[in-house]
Amino acid sequence: MLLGFVGHMRRAPHRCRVGGTVEPIPTDPRRRFRVAHARDGVEEYTERRVMSGHARIDTHQHYLPQFYRDLLDSHGMDAGGWPTPDWSLEAALALMDDLQIATGVVSLSSPGVRFDDDETSRAVARRVNEFVAELVKDRPERFGLFASLPLPDVDGALAEIADAYDELHADGVVLLSNVDGIYLGDRAYEPVWEELNRRSAVVVSSRQKFVMVSSFSLDKGYHRN
């Protein structure tokens, strides 16, 4: 399921699709709603308690752990052209409470996890995903995980999909619109899309700085200048 550019603070829907059927979400805050995961064709469910008095699920919420901020600073990088913001768990929870957000499904924003080379990028992706998995483990009623993938490294991305779903129990993945000028429609990414489709994954597309391409063909995909 491709969500595209996701908006802020969507109210929890009255009904949700679970296991191919549409079921009502209980309005009683003491009851639970279910998030479907497809794992090797077998659907499993993660139950999360809806916080009393809070009715919103925010699917466009970013996090910025200190080790990631330090990495950006050491590489002279910023948040996709914007000043790198401050972030803390306490501030995130306070904002969620102020805006009556029950659960934030968090993702890493631009510039993502692409650093230096494939090996470094894989290590960064694994570390940020494990960071959020710990947040979810500690506060399952407040946080969910859209995992980052180390594209354009296809093999690394496939390995991270497996770890994110099988070990970290991610709710989906976030993909930047392009990395190093390679867009999501590039044919090189077909194995990634096939694996995400096999897992019935939820995919969030996040905007990245536009890079001009010189041409496009159905056979070869995008061609960078």
Prediction pTM value: 0.72
Contact indicator for 103, 58 with CB cutoff of 8 Å: yes
Q: Give the separation between CA 20 and CA 41, rounded to whole angstroms.
A: 13
pLDDT in tens, 55-76: 789 999 999 999 999 998 898 8
What pLDDT shows up at residue 87?
87
User: What's the average model confidence in pLDDT over 171-182?
Assistant: 91
User: What's the average model confidence in pLDDT over 153-176?
Assistant: 97
Q: What's the mean per-residue pLDDT of the chain?
A: 76
Q: Give the separation between CA 39 and CA 162, rounded to whole angstroms.
A: 9
pLDDT in tens, 2-57: 554 433 333 333 333 333 333 344 443 333 333 444 444 434 434 444 444 557 89
What pLDDT shows up at residue 222?
46
Percent of the chain at pLDDT > 70 equals 66
pLDDT in tens, 79-124: 667 777 788 999 999 999 999 999 999 999 888 999 989 999 999 9
